[in-house]
Structures are given as structure tokens and as C-alpha cells.
A and B are shown apart, each in its own frame.
Chain A
Amino acid sequence: DAKTTQPNSMESNEEEPVHLPCNHSTISGTDYIHWYRQLPSQGPEYVIHGLTSNVNNRMASLAIAEDRKSSTLILHRATLRDAAVYYCILEGSGGSNYKLTFGKGTLLTVNP
């Protein structure tokens, strides 16, 4: 499975934007970029995914570099509820299964 690299931790202030980076230099042409987050004592929660173009949804935005070797998850206004571990995952389409390979993720702390 293609590997991703994320900072171990990041800190933000409430109501400020947060940019969570992810490097994936060995991404293949058919790999989707997924972001999940895990709040304390809960299962992971889907945030957003994309292939080539930038994506927006109600939770976040995903900015994908032109060469696809990196991406950034953008939380436009962080809230205390956004404090979680954020995982950037590559998932190769077209295979017989769609298992997710999680790394250690980025622990986001949001200060009031």
C-alpha cells in the first residue's frame, strides 16, 4: 500500500482555519486520497476524499497538489469538537477490496 506522511501533532485556536498536510509521494494514478478523523473514544469518522480535483463538503475542504504528491485538509473554522486524530489514507480503486491502511495520523489540539 502506498504510504502517507503526516505531522504527529498540530495545534490551533478556536474559530481559526486549520491546514493539515499530508505527503504521499508514491501515490499511483488510481489512488484516492481519503481523510478520516477519530475523536476520543469513538470509531473513525469519514471526512472527505478526492482523486485529482479539490473537493469541498460541509465538514472540510481538500486541496490536492497538481502532481498529487501531497494534499491538505482544511478546516475553515476550528471548533473544540474538531479536536481529534486526523488520518490521511490512500485507497487504490479497482481492487477486490477497499481496506484502509491507517498510519498514526495527526493529533489536532484546538485551544479555546
Chain B
Amino acid sequence: DTGVSQDPRHKITKRGQNVTFRCDPISEHNRLYWYRQTLGQGPEFLTYFQNEAQLEKSRLLSDRFSAERPKGSFSTLEIQRTEQGDSAMYLCASSLAGFSTDTQYFGPGTRLTVL
């Protein structure tokens, strides 16, 4: 399967611990997005990369959150000093830059539970 993959699929951690999630986009896609989704809500945009450059960060992305995309391939999202409010599904999506709009392909998500 050549879709977007995310690892791990589930993560349970204790408050105050650091966690890191990985996203592997579709291989030729140069755009990569991170979203967060809480129960009963639609996904919310967190950050966006074009190749290795992080071009936009949402105000939702506090200083405890950091994302990287070294070499413009896979991406990692790290949350430091996790809080219970960080419990959510973290979704990654990728797309190929086009001339106008583009289609985003989402991974299955990483469900984070902070105890």
C-alpha cells in the first residue's frame, strides 16, 4: 500500500512525558500537513510543510509542540510535557503541489491518550 502511514497508531502516556509521532507521506508528495481532531469535532490544522520548509504554524501549536520534516520526506511531531488536553487524534496528510488547488491524502492517525 502506498498511502500515508503513521506510527504509532495508538499512544498512551502519562502527563508530563514527551511523545513523538511519525508520518510517512506518499513518496512523490511535496506538501505535508498535520491536523488534530478531538471527539465530535472536525480536524483542526496544526502545521504545514512544503518540502523541508515549515511554512505555517497554527496558534494551536503551542511552544510544547514541534514538527520537523528533514530532507522533505517523513515528518515527526513531538509534544513535550504532555497535558491531558493534548489527548486527541493526530492526523497527517500529504499532497502534490498543483497549479491551483490540491487533494490531500490522510493517514489513519495516531490516537494519543494522556493520563
Binding site for A on B (CB under 8 A): 4, 31, 33, 35, 40-45, 48, 50, 55-56, 91, 93, 95, 100-109
Asked if B91 and A43 sit within 8 Å, CB to CB, the answer is yes
The chain A residue sitting closest to B103, CB to CB, is A46
In the complex, which residues of chain B have a beta carbon less than 8 angstroms from the beta carbon of A49?
101, 103
Choose one: B41, B56, B100; the contact of A32 (CB below 8 Å): B100
A6 to B83, CA, bound (A): 33
7 more CB-based (< 8 A) A-B contacts, given A43-B106, A91-B101: A36-B104, A49-B101, A85-B42, A93-B100, A96-B55, A98-B31, A100-B104
A-B contact count (CB 8 A): 64
Q: Are A100 and B109 in contact (CB under 8 A)?
A: no
CB < 8 Å neighbour of B42 from A32, A42, A43, A105? A105
Q: Which one, A32, A45, A99, contacts B106 given CB within 8 A? A: A45
| A2, B42: Cα distance in complex, Å | 16
Query: B residues within 8 A CB of A42?
Result: 108-109
Interface residues on A, range: 20 to 34
User: Which residues from chain A contact B48 at a C-beta distance below 8 Å?
Assistant: 97-99
Q: How far is the CA of A42 from the CA of B33 in the complex (A)?
A: 16
| Closest chain B CB from A73 CB (angstroms) | 15
Could you tell me which A residues sit within 8 Å of B by CB distance? 32, 34, 36, 42-46, 49, 51, 85, 87, 91, 93-94, 96-105
CB of A104 within 8 A of CB of B103, answer: no
Asked if residues A43 and B107 are in contact (CB atoms below 8 Å), the reply is: yes
Least CB separation from A48: chain B residue: B103
Nearest 4 interchain pairs by C-beta:
A102-B42, A43-B106, A32-B101, A99-B45
13 contacts between A and B (CB under 8 A): A34-B101, A43-B4, A43-B106, A44-B43, A44-B106, A93-B101, A94-B100, A98-B31, A98-B101, A99-B48, A102-B44, A103-B42, A104-B42
Most A C-beta atoms less than 10 A away, residue of B44, B48, B103, B105: B103
A46 nearest CB neighbor, chain B only: B103
